[in-house]
Chain A
């Protein structure tokens, strides 16, 4: 991994980027777009979802929780393809991201060095101890 590369975090731990194509910003998206960069101020109910294979939602700051509601809204609309949180997401938020509907988190190499893989794996048990699953009958 070079210093500039990002790290993809999933339940199994760290891996390198495996999405080969480029991401299209929302305002440039067309019917052919398959990888979308959806800004945090987008309206999740009007984004065209047909044909998308991956959506990336940015976290400019870990303290800005809009992305969690955006992810949940997309899932409630029936979006089932890949959903990625990217940017300043900390290991302590991994379970929240997964429970809100994200499949994976993309972080900088710098953050991955400061919060190494074991700190993320400690939160990979996001399906356990989940009040929402109990209340929704999905436990």
Chain B
């Protein structure tokens, strides 16, 4: 894992001192509320429905146990004893007091964490594949370059007041777990003729105008990355619209000007910017890379795992859903579900955080990851240790066997916390999870991604849910629209709106009709919901959702 240099440490101390002074200057009137707002946002501090919210970055989703323990400490000392992991590898504290925030930032700095550029019209926390460095299908670990991008984008003097927020994601695997096609810039590490580089995707995004990103450069040599990124963002900074916040993202800039025009402008700018870099960035990258070297994996006989798998059905169910193949055959990647049936998706208590930190230290070479699906990962665990890990997780309500299943729902905070929300999302997620758990259908249904957003801004990624749910306000009443067939992987697709929305009390029966239709229509257990949808199209699912329309046709 990356260890802060003296430069990083000194930078962060200076930055936190500046923010402390900004809070004081807001109070003494030196800064107006309008001026203070972007300054607090670029330090992670929002004003929500009931209180301030501090969003802390977990750069490229990687944490060590000391950092996780510090996150727990913040939750206890300055919040209500829990934190909320988000869809962009951040953790949010929902109840801090403004006067405490500078102290919280100093506490984070003690373990090399920060809240810089987790909000505001800036380049946000760069995200990466949460299985980086462990996945069997990986071409290259995306984290060293994600760290390089973190350093480049941090406090970049040109890009602190962009037209709108700007999100970058990196993946090093052909199976895209980082949703790169739904980011302002997506980077896929690729190889061509023995040379490594990047496929650069631009203009993706969800929100009220969902768009799949387009390839702006098929192959960018790795040494050219920073000047090329800088070219894209500086072209956007001048060209992006500032007259309408809803048309200000780069996806609209690309859409209105056309990818060819944007590409020409970027390439021209890139030619100039290349001369501003002399290789120092690549020398820094070379210093970063060894810090992400794989740990020395300890070979262990897998017999304890094999025994538990054969004899313990609860362990077996968990192993079948929550483990992923590790590049080392006698190890596994463990996904810890933060989606216990009926709980708030993504929430973890301080005690749960401490337990996960202890497990990471004892069994996982001191590494943890946070996934954009709001779960926690132990990236490297010897199979022999899995029964012990599972037993420990059970004691803290963290052994739910539902990764990738219908109750592993992504939900935004919704109207329970967010000032923008037009409907509740967390209670909807809780209802669906509890209902299908009671029906004991979850494992039979198999892989199914439900994603819920409580407003059109789509923080819950509903557009790329196999079943997406969008909560709206219709004349003061919550109304939920359903989209079908969305997909956030390398085959990214925006889901299709199924038809009229449902009142809150009608939503759960509608979802059940949809799922039961799938169970009847599928060719076998191997055909997932998404596969069946792709084979059959929207019609039979629409018929299940709107039986009264079908009856009218028949009449």
Q: Which residues of A contact B (CB under 8 A)?
A: 44, 62-66, 68-70, 72-73, 76-77, 90-93, 95-97, 99-100, 114-116, 119, 122, 128-132, 134-137
Contacts and interface: CB of A to CB of B under 8 A. Distances in A.
A92 B158 CA distance: 14
Interface in B242-263: 242
B162 A65 contact: yes
Interface string B19-49: 0011001000111000100110000000000
B238 A69 contact: yes
A72 B234 contact: yes
A132 B162 CA distance: 18
Contact of B31 (A90, A95, A128): A90
Given A63-B161, A64-B242, A95-B157, A136 B30 contact: no
B276 A136 contact: yes
B317 interface: no
B152 A135 contact: yes
Nearest to B272: A76
A119 B237 contact: no
Tell which of B35, B152, B158 has the most Cβ of chain A within 10 Å: B158
Contact of B238 (A66, A92, A134): A66
Contact of B35 (A90, A95, A99): A90
User: What DSSP secondary structure best describes chain A's contact surface?
Assistant: helix
Contact of A131 (B154, B238, B276): B154
Q: What bracket does the count of chain B residues touching chain A fall in?
A: 35 or more
Given A136-B281, A137-B278, A69 B234 contact: yes
Nearest to B239: A66
B39 A92 contact: yes
B388 interface: no
7 contacts: A65-B160, A68-B159, A76-B272, A96-B160, A114-B30, A129-B11, A137-B277
A55 to B, nearest CB: 16
A73 B162 CA distance: 16
Given A66-B237, A69-B158, A90-B35, A135 B226 contact: yes
B503 interface: no
B21 A122 contact: yes
A68 B31 CA distance: 21
Contacts of B284: 134-135
B35 A134 contact: no
Contacts of A65: 121, 158-162, 237
A116 to B, nearest CB: 8
B397 interface: no
Interface string B109-141: 000000000000100000000000000000000
A97 to B, nearest CB: 8
B156 A136 contact: no
B279 A100 contact: no
